[in-house]
């Protein structure tokens, strides 16, 4: 085989290796997003605590309270 043939084979192997690594990473990312957080995960509990404590309705109520205090 000529040197040019070896370069072609090396380029094909490198491309296949990069494509394989990329596809495995995409597979992991896909399955991670499909699974979602569980109720037992601390990050999910933390996000629920902060979202329920500062809900949009609660924020509006806080704004109204401040407006009432300022108008007095």
Per-residue pLDDT at 24: 96
Q: What is the DSSP string of 31-50?
A: HHHHH---TT-HHHHHHHHH
Per-residue pLDDT at 7 exceeds 90: yes
* Ramachandran bin of 37, using left for φ above 0, alpha for ψ from -120 to 50, beta for the remaining angles: beta
Percent of the chain with pLDDT over 70: 49
Integer-rounded Cα Rg, in Å, for the chain is 27
pLDDT digits (tens, 9 = 90+) for 12-35: 999 999 999 999 999 999 998 888
| Residues counted in the chain | 72
Structure tokens at 62: 């806080």
């Amino acid at each position: 085989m000529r040197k040019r043939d070896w370069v072609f084979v090396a380029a094909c192997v490198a491309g296949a290796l990069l494509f394989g690594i990329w596809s495995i990473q995409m597979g992991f990312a896909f399955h991670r997003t499909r699974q979602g957080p569980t109720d037992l995960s601390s990050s999910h509990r933390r996000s629920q605590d902060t979202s329920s404590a500062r809900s949009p309705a609660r924020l509006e109520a806080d704004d109204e309270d401040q407006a009432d205090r300022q108008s007095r």
